[in-house]
Amino acid sequence: MQKKKLLNGTIKRHPDGFGFFIPDDIGHPDVYIPRNSMEGIMTNDKVVIEAFPEKGTERFRGEIIRILSRGTKTVVGRFYKMNERVGAIRDEGKGWGQDLKIKLEDSLNAKDKELVAAEILTYPEEGKSFTGKVTEIIGDALDPLTDIKRVIRSNNIPLEFSKETLEEAKHFNEVPDEKDFKGRRDLRDKSLITIDGATAKDFDDAVYVEVTDEGFLLFVAIADVSHYVRIGSAIDKDAYERGTSVYFPNYVVPMLPEVLSNGLCSLNPHVPRLCLVAEMLFDFTGEMKRSDFYEAVMESKARVTYGEAQEIIDGNEVEKHSHVKENILRLSDLAKILMAKRFKEGSLDLEIPETELVIDGAGVPVDIQRSERLFSHRLIEEMMLAANVGVAKFLSSRNIPALYRIHEPPNEMAIRVLEKYMANFGSKTKLGQGKLQKRLTKALEEFENRPEAQILHILTLRSMSQAKYSMNNVGHFGLGFEFYTHFTSPIRRYPDLIVHRLLKNQVMPNSGYRLMSEDDLSTAGTILSAAEQRSTKAERQVQSIKKARFMEKFVGQEFDGMISSVAKFGIFVLLREYDVDGLVRLDDLGGERFEYDEENLRLVAKRSGFAYAIGDKIRIQVAAADPELGQINFVLAGLEKEESDEERTSAQATAESFLKKLHGQQKERSGRPDRRDKRDERRDQGPGKRRGEREERREERGAFAKGGGRKDSRQEFTKKSKDREEERPFKKDQKSKFFGDSRKDEQGQREKIHKIEKQYGFKPGAREDDEKRGPDQSLLNMILGPEKYRKSEEETPSKDKPKLSKKLMFAEQSKLRDNDDYSEKNSDSLKHRTPDRKDSKKRGKTANDRGGVRKARLSSGRGKGKTR
C-alpha cells in the first residue's frame, strides 16, 4: 500500500464545493479533495496537498496543506447593490466559493447589475473576508446568450412561449390549493428529500427509504406535472413541440413555463407539492417484490446537493442535514445492493465524464473541467432506474399501448471494430463469445485505472446504437433491462408526461386520463426522439463554441494530451489539463507522409514506420481556436518556420512546391557520391563490411518501427539520420546557379536545365551571377504572373518579417474552411468515421453513432443524468 505523499499542483473547484487536484507530476493520477478541505480555495489556485490512496481502490484523496499562489487576481461580472454600504459580484460560476464583497466607495459608482471588472483585495483565508474593488465599469451587461441564441435558432428550437401559454400560466397559484389534496395519500410526514446539483433550480424527484423485516421499502415521488398540464391546452401543445428542456451553461430553454418548472411542479423544500409516487419493496438481494403507484401530496424535508450527500456517506457531519442523515445512509445501502445486482446481470458500467463549463456573470468561460462522478450520483441514479423499471413492468403487464425507452444491441460490424480497438490496447477478451454485455464489461475491467480507460469507454459508447422512444419494447441493451421507460422527469421530458397519463389511466380508472392509440404513440416516439437528438446536438455545439472561446487565450501555448481518435485526415488530442479536444491535421504531423492503417486503426509514416495510435501521449501547441465554428486546431509542439504564409495564393504555393522539389533534387545529387564510385568503394571494403552495413540499417528501421511512437526510438533514429547528414559533402551555403547563385557543380546544373527543358518545354534565359536580381523574370512571370511579381518586390523582405510558427500561421489562416473531410468540428463527442470503400464520393464521411447510456450530467443548471 502506498504511503502519504506531498504533491504540488493546481486545484479545480466543483460547484458542489469539493475539489479536484491536478498534480504537476504527470505520472500521478488526479486527487479528490473533500469539501471540508476546500474552505477559501478557488479554482486554478496552486496548492500543496497531502495525498493518500483510498482503501481497496486506485483512487487518491487529499487534504490541502497550504496555498502556493492564487490563480485568480481579477474577476468580471455583474455588480449587485446589497445595501447602502456594500455591493457584491456573485459567484455565478461557483468557482470562488463565495461572493466578492465590494464597498460602495470602491465601486466607482457602478449601477445595479452593471458589468464591471474588479480586483481582488483579500482572499477568504485565515479569517479574512473575500473583498475587492471595481477597477473598470464595462457598461451594460453583455448578452451571455450571443452564442446560445445562434445555436438555438440554427437548430430550430422554440425559444418563446405562445401568448396563449403565457396567459394560461398567469392563472396558476404559487402553492397548491387544498382542494387538490382530496383523494391523495398524505406523505407529508415522510422524510422525503431531493438530491441534485448545486446549480439545479427544478427538482422533479424526491426519495425516501425504510428498512422493514422484508427488505427496503422505497418511495420515489415525482412531481405531478400531468395534474397541471392538461391534454389539448396551450401549455401542452408548446411542451409537445419542444419535447424536452435544453440545458446550456447558465441558461435553460424550459419545456414548461417558469411558474410550473421552478414553482408548482418543483419539489422545493418545506412547501406542499402534488406528486405521483412509485412505492416499491426490494428484498435484501435487490429483487423487486411488489410495487404500487398512486397520487399523493408531499413536503420535501431538505434540498441536498450531491456534494453534501457524499460528505454524509463518507461519515462526515453536515449539520444542516442531520435530520435526514439516516435516510441518506439507508438510500446508500440500497443503491449498493441494486448496483451489484444490475452489474451482475449484465448492465454496462460506462464512465463517460461530462464537461463542466465554468461561466462568469458575463457568459465568458473561465474554466473547463471534467465532472467528478461521486457515489451520491450513482445513489440517485439507482433510485430513478428502479422507478423507471417498475413502471415499465407495470404497463407491460397491463397489455396496453405504452411508450418505452429502448436501446437496441449494436451491429456486428461496430463490435468487430471495437474489438480491434481493444486488441490494439492489449485486451485478450473476445467480444463474440457469450453474452455481449458481460464480455464488454470484462474487457473494460482489464483497463481499469489505466489512462486508456476513458478513451475505451468513449469508444464503447460510440459503438452502441442510439437510445430512443418507441411503443415496441425491445428492452434496453446498455442497462441490461427487459423493461424500461422514462417516468422520473416530467418537468423536462415530454415522454415522461405521456407515461404519467398512461399510468394514471390504469391506477385511477375514473380520473379522466385516457389511453393513446398505437399510431399516436408511434408518431410521438419518432417526434420526441428527434427532439431529444436536437437538444443534445445544440448542447454539444454550445460546448464546442465555449471551449473554442476559452482556448483563444492559449493560442501558441503547449499542453500535454492523449490521442483520443484517429482518422484519415488527422488525429484528435484530448488535453490533460482541460476537458478539451482538438484536431492535429494530417499535414501538421511533420515532414513525413502518413497513411491511415484501417486494419490497426492508426496513422503510419510510410517511410520510417512511425505511428500515431489511440492512447498515445503527445505534446501539442494550440494553433487556432474559432468560436464561430466551435473548432480548435493543434499542431505538434516545437515546429517552427521563418516566414509567414499570409496572403499565399494557390499559384504561389504551387511555385514554392516546384522550387522546393528542384532544390531538394540538387541537394541530393550534390551531396551523394557518384554511383560508380560508391560501387568501387563498396567492392574494396569487401562483403563482410557490406553485410554489416545492411544489418545496421535493418536494425535501425526495425527499432524505429517497433517503437510505435516511443520517444527513445524516435530520438535514436533522428540522431543517426543527423550523423549521416554530417558525413555528406554537400555544403549548405551552395545555391543553384539556375536560381541566381554560383555553384561549383556545373555538370549538375546542365542536367537540371536539360530535365526542365524536357518536362516543361521551355529554356531558361541567360542569367548573371547576381543574388540581388533573384529568379529569372520569365520563369516568375509564368508561375506567379507579372502583376503579382511586381507586388512582391514592394513587400517587406522576408528577413525582416517576424519568425512565426509555420503550423500556427497555416492553421490560423486556413481554419480548415475548404476541407470537406473536416466534418467532426472538434466536438467532445469524438464522432467516428464510417468509410464507404465502394463509392469514392462517400469515403470518409462521418456518421454520428453516439447513443446508448448517458451517465449523470453535472453541467451548470442541469445536475441530473438522462437516465432520470
Radius of gyration of the chain, Cα coordinates, nearest whole angstrom: 33
Q: Is the pLDDT of residue 797 over 70?
A: no
Tell me: pLDDT of 187 over 90. Answer: yes
Per-residue cell: 431: 467480444
Q: Which of 13-17, 87-91, 378-382 has the lowest mean pLDDT?
A: 13-17
pLDDT at position 135 over 50: yes
Pairing of strands 60-69, 46-53: antiparallel
Residues 482 and 484: their CA atoms lie apart, in Å, by: 7
Task: Find the mean pLDDT for residues 434-461.
Answer: 78
pLDDT at 635: 94
Query: What are residue 273's DSSP bridge partners?
Result: 298
**CA 389 – CA 642 distance, rounded (Å):** 64
DSSP code of 407? B
**Whole-angstrom distance, CA of residue 26 vs CA of residue 618:** 12
> Residue 834: how many CB atoms within 10 A of its CB?
16
Average the pLDDT over 790-814 and give the result: 46
- pLDDT at 858 exceeding the cut of 90: no
Give me the mean pLDDT over the 72-76 stretch. 82
At 507 the pLDDT is 93
Lowest mean pLDDT among 36-45, 471-480, 849-858: 849-858
SS3 breakdown of the chain: % helix, strand, coil, rounded to 5?
Answer: 35, 25, 40
Taking only the tens place, the pLDDT of each residue in 697-755 is 554 444 444 444 444 444 554 454 445 444 444 444 444 433 344 444 455 556 656 66
* Amino acid at the residue 718: T
Query: Is the confidence at residue 597, as pLDDT, over 50?
Result: yes
Assess contact for 70 and 123: CB atoms under 8 A. Answer: yes
136 vs 618, residue with greater confidence: 618
Fill in the amino acid letter for 286. Answer: G
In tens, the pLDDT along 560-585 reads: 998 988 888 999 999 988 889 999 99
Task: Check residue 777 and give its pLDDT.
Answer: 56
Dump pLDDT digits (tens) for 107-127: 888 888 777 888 899 988 877
Model pTM score: 0.65
Reported confidence tier of residue 773, pLDDT bands at 50, 70, 90 = very low
Q: Is 86 helix (H, G, I), strand (E, B) or coil?
A: strand
Pick 690 or 487 by higher pLDDT.
487
* Model pLDDT, residue 115: 72
- At 200 the three-state DSSP class reads coil
Confidence of residue 655 (pLDDT cuts 50, 70, 90): very low
The mean predicted confidence, pLDDT, of the chain is 77
Please give the average per-residue pLDDT across 433-456, as a whole number: 77
Q: What percent of the chain has pLDDT over 90?
A: 38
**3-state SS string for 205-248:** EEEEEEECCCCEEEEEEEECHHHHCCCCCHHHHHHHHHCECEEE
Residue 859 clears pLDDT 70, i.e. is over it: no
Angle, helices 234-242 vs 494-507, to 10°: value is 130
Residue 583 and residue 572 in contact, taking contact as beta carbons nearer than 8 Å: yes
pLDDT for residue 555: 93
Per DSSP, what are the bridge partners of residue 87?
81, 102
Q: What tens digit of pLDDT does each residue of 529-542 get? A: 999 999 999 999 99
Comparing 434 with 422, which gets the higher pLDDT? 422
Q: What is the pLDDT of residue 821?
A: 40
The candidate with the shortest Cα–Cα distance to 575, out of 427, 434, 753, 369, is 369
Q: Are strands 594-597 and 581-585 parallel, antiparallel or unpaired?
A: unpaired
pLDDT tier, 500 (very low <50, low <70, confident <90, very high otherwise): very high
Mean pLDDT value across residues 134-152: 69
pLDDT recorded at residue 866: 45
Confidence at residue 465, expressed as pLDDT on a 0 to 100 scale: 85
| Extended beta strands in 380-492, E state | 404-406, 468-470
What tens digit of pLDDT does each residue of 315-371 get?
999 999 999 999 999 999 999 999 999 988 888 887 776 788 888 766 788 888 777
* pLDDT score of 226 more than 70: yes
| Residue 796: pLDDT over 70 | no
Q: What's the CA gap between 239 and 256, in Å, rounded?
A: 6
| From 146-155, 287-296, 471-480, 642-651, the region with the lowest mean pLDDT | 642-651
677 grid coordinates: 564510385
H/E element, 653: helix 650-670
Q: Percent of the chain at pLDDT above 70? A: 71
> CB–CB of 297/267 below 8 Å?
no
* Cell numbers that stand for 455 in this block: 478513451
92: helix, strand or coil = coil
How much is the pLDDT for 782?
52
Across 581-602, average pLDDT: 86
In the chain, the amino acid numbered 311 is E
C-alpha cell at 393: 413492468
Residue 442 pLDDT: 81
**Is residue 496 scored above 50 in pLDDT?**
yes
pLDDT exceeds 70 at position 71? yes
Among 255-264, 501-510, 552-561, 813-822, whose mean pLDDT is lowest?
813-822
Q: Contact 338/386 with Cβ under 8 angstroms?
A: yes
Q: Per-residue pLDDT for 283 more than 80?
A: yes
**What pLDDT band is residue 146 in, cutting at 50, 70 and 90?**
low
Q: What is the mean pLDDT of residues 57-75?
A: 87
Average pLDDT over residues 395-414: 91
Please give the average per-residue pLDDT across 262-283, as a whole number.
Answer: 95
* pLDDT of 432 strictly over 80: no
Alpha helix stretches (DSSP H) within 761-832: 777-784, 786-794, 806-814
CA distances from 183 to 218, 296, 510, 595 (A): 22, 8, 12, 71
